[in-house]
A and B are shown apart, each in its own frame.
Chain A
Amino acid sequence: MTSLTDPPKESFRLGMLIYDTRYRSLTIQVVALIGFMIFAAWLINNTLYNLAEQGKTIGFGFLSDTAGYDINQRLLDYNSQSSHWRAAIVGLLNTLLVAFLGCITATIIGVFVGILRLSNNWLIARLMTVYVEMFRNVPVLLWIVFTMAIMIETLPAPRAFKGENPTASMVLFDTVAFTNRGVYIPEALFSRGLGDLPILPDRDSAACQPGEDGSVDDACGVFQISLDLLLIAFVFGGGLYASARIRKRADRIQNATGDRPKTWYLRLAVIAVPTLAVLVALGFHLGYPELKGFNFKGGTHLRNSLLALWLALSLYTAAFIAEIVRAGILAISKGQTEAAAALGLRSNRIMNLVILPQALRVIIPPLISNYLNLTKNSSLAIAVGYMDITGTLGGITMNQTGKELECVLMLMLVYLAISLSISGVMNWYNERVKLVER
């Protein structure tokens, strides 16, 4: 008689950790984790030992010390008595400023060049190819220092504008001056301005005591917001919103009746009229730069460092954007255009309703990653002395305090935060426009 027996129960052997696929992945992961932790511990141990050897401690207390250096291009109130912390913030704002300006101009130039590269005009297409290849194949740092050098060496000094027979003159009806110290443009002034709003002011400090005209010093509060600009932005934004509502209404009417009411004058009016009214009410006028002594006074002074960086970054990134735009348009098959034409759409509607929505899906992800590249490349500002976050926190602050570890760590974290938020936007967009298949 036979009896059923259970198959022999396999006992666990050590070799199974490696040869049994059920356990192998676990083994590999545990080994990888342990290896990584040993490596990290080794690095940290070395670092602590070496820092102790050099007599340094790790800490971020130095950030509240007096910075002691000046930043000539700034968006916030700052002087050499401010802290390293504030210098870093001023630097960060400068980074964001040049990145923002650069992204806008790079997009405009890039889209323009990308479309012209597809032109059926042979000469135009070739010229644009030359532009793209010229900028793509030469390092961006070279373009930055090159632009800076050209500005310094070829533009006239302010004193060339002086005297009976000046060798240089201002352009655009004497309102803009190109000098080797930078470009002076008219500034916006408000004769009946509302003043600035200090944020988080310390009421007891000397800076916050109202002066003769009732206003407070620039140094009052953590930073100040111009109420004039706030009001203008608010009114302008309201106008844009109203304009969008009018367009929606036109869409509704078109869907219901098939006729689209003409709305462009109404939409223009709701944006322009209130904004102009506010400008007049605030007493808006332009302050022109004037030559006083050996330099220009008044107006807004755009420094060479900012201009060179802005120009070089935009032109360089625009070459890449042009290629993206071109590829995006080429990616839409010809059948789409033909199908739309067969439906009886006019050519501008084909572009707006059929080609662009599809091309944008291809264009926008690489476009955003190029914005990210531009932002990271703006760290090259240090080569021309524009004080962005790399110039303040990673440059002078690091050299003065000798806190290399902390400074580089903070610098990396700032850029990581910028990168991660931009890629977050990109993922959100990709999710939104993703084709839903099957």
Chain B
Amino acid sequence: MADIHFVRKAMIEEQEPPAATTGVAGWIRENLFSSPLNAVLSILSLGFVVYVLSALLPWVMSPTWSAASLNECRELIGGGHGKACWGVIRERWLQLMFGFYPKELYWRVVLDFALLLVAVAPVLFNTLPRKMLIFSAIYPFLMPWLLWGGSIWNPVVAAAGFVLGFLAHKYAKPVLGGLTAVILAFLVPVLWWFLLAGPVADGLASVLPLALETVESRNFGGFMLSITIGVVAIAISLPIGIVLALGRQSDLFIVRSLSVGFIEFIRGVPLITLLFVASTLLNIFMPPGTDFDIILRVIIMVTLFASAYMAEVVRGGLAALPRGQYEAADALGLDFWMAQRLIIMPQALKISIPGIVSTFIGVFKDTTLVSIIGLLDPIGLSNSIRADQAWNGVVWELYGFIALMFFIFCFSMSRYSMYLERKLQTGHR
């Protein structure tokens, strides 16, 4: 009988995959030329990238760092267009960073922001020693003192208010009961700040005059101003936002209506109208004779603005928690605040991290609006630089530089939020 088989008897040798599906060629084929349409799109976008780079690289690589005016730049380039004039950045970058802050005091600003990193590090990365949080608590008092200068006793007595409140609570609780202790913990610092803090600070200053040179608010400017407003507003808005979110979730009708009214009002109007309030109206709302500093007024309004958005983000996190978590906290016999502190908030805040960071980024970007009410943030400064005789006509270099700085700040924040999301991911939400 003939040896006929209809199926193969021996295995075929293992073979290399086709060359077109592996390695670089395979990747290119799969990702760039998978269909005729994709091929056309790839070639078009490749052409676009090449075109942009061929225009951009010579523009960036222009030897104009030494120029002192736009005309000098043109001489250096030799009349051609398509080359950047970097002289403006070399001459003005310190101004774009610090505004008109006195040159010999730049170290204070740099030190301040360096310390800011140290202060937020233990909050951001939990591998660091917890003792560093003590410095984070001191920093809010250190920061304005370093920036604005003045007597060291002002921040010290301000901090003393908090310490007094804490002590009042601690010692009054066993004697007078919980509620009275809480009331005292609010009342004592307020009385201290309004009645005693001023004279005490003056007295201490006359005994031991430790002071830094004062810098006026109008000398603040550039990115330093943006960062100051942004960081302070962000830091204060988070607790206010949490309280507002709880108020909005509350069963108490009046508390809820007040919270909803505040949040919807702030979210319904553009920030610029709130800044108009800061620049023209806030002093009218205050008792006669009060004269807030303009930066302080702006910070107050930006903080209110940020807290309304923060409240909505936190509310989203609260709403995303399963009902069982609330019920389990009740079943354990925890009261409202303990349940919030130990069970609800840690989870809700974790869920809302992406939203919180994007609110941070939004607030930081929105600080540029202060240029409209006349503060000299980077955009405000750019207007005055463009009005300067020597740099009249500079556009791309200046705005490109400012945009790049903002991009670096905001992009790194958004990357950090992604990192945090991944790190805190516990598999279920």
Contacts and interface: CB of A to CB of B under 8 A. Distances in A.
Contact of A377 (B42, B258, B270): B270
A140 interface: yes
B128 interface: no
B268 A415 contact: yes
Contact of B285 (A29, A43, A154): A43
Contacts of A146: 395, 399, 403
A266 interface: no
A30 B255 CA distance: 9
A119 B30 CA distance: 12
B72 to A, nearest CB: 18
A121 B270 contact: no
A53 interface: yes
Contact of A405 (B34, B48, B258, B281): B281
A379 B272 contact: yes
Contacts of A141: 368-369, 371-372, 379
B361 interface: yes
Given A137-B406, A146-B395, A382 B372 contact: yes
A415 B251 contact: no
Contacts, number: 157
Contact of B402 (A18, A122, A133, A142): A142
A19 to B, nearest CB: 8
Contacts of A29: 252-255
Contacts of A145: 379, 382-383, 399
A149 to B, nearest CB: 4
Interface in B311-350: none
A416 B268 contact: yes
Interface stretch (B149-157, B158-166, B193-201, B407-415): B407-415
Interface stretch (A44-52, A79-87, A181-189): A44-52
B276 interface: yes
B393 interface: yes
A380 B372 contact: yes
A33 B254 contact: yes
Nearest to A422: B268
Most buried by A among B251, B273, B379, B395: B273
A160 interface: no
A1 interface: no
Interface residues of B, number: 58
A429 interface: no
Contacts of A43: 285
Most buried by B among A30, A49, A142: A142
A133 B273 CA distance: 28
A360 interface: no
A30 B268 CA distance: 28
B31 A138 contact: no
A177 to B, nearest CB: 21
A64 to B, nearest CB: 22
B179 interface: yes
B366 A139 contact: yes
A50 B281 CA distance: 10
Interface residues of A, number: 55
A32 B258 contact: yes
Contacts of A121: 31-32, 34, 38, 41-42
Contact residues of B: prevailing secondary structure = helix
A60 interface: no
Given A36-B258, A149-B399, A139 B273 contact: no
A435 B399 CA distance: 47
Contacts of A380: 272, 369, 372
B280 A390 contact: no
A169 to B, nearest CB: 18
Given A141-B371, A404-B280, A154 B288 contact: no
A301 interface: no
B284 interface: yes
A267 to B, nearest CB: 28
B74 to A, nearest CB: 14
Interface string B227-268: 000000000000000000000000111110010000011011
B251 A25 contact: yes
Interface string A14-51: 00001000000100111011001000000100110111
B366 A420 contact: no
B19 interface: no
A145 B372 CA distance: 12
26 contacts: A32-B258, A46-B285, A46-B286, A46-B287, A121-B31, A121-B32, A123-B31, A123-B42, A137-B411, A139-B406, A141-B371, A141-B379, A142-B379, A149-B399, A154-B395, A379-B272, A380-B369, A382-B372, A390-B272, A394-B272, A398-B280, A408-B276, A411-B276, A415-B269, A416-B265, A416-B269
What are the nearest 7 A-B pairs in CB distance? A419-B268, A122-B31, A137-B410, A139-B365, A376-B270, A404-B280, A379-B270
Interface of B: 31-32, 34, 38, 41-42, 45-46, 48-49, 179, 251-255, 258, 264-265, 267-273, 276-277, 280-281, 283-288, 361, 365-366, 368-369, 371-372, 379, 382-383, 386, 393, 395-396, 399, 402-403, 406-407, 410-411, 414
Interface of A: 18, 25, 28-30, 32-33, 36, 43, 46-47, 49-51, 53, 119-124, 127, 133-134, 136-142, 145-146, 149-150, 153-154, 376-377, 379-380, 382-383, 390, 394, 398, 404-405, 408, 411-412, 415-416, 419-420
Given A121-B31, A137-B414, A382-B372, 8 more contacts: A29-B255, A119-B38, A138-B403, A139-B366, A146-B399, A376-B269, A404-B276, A404-B284
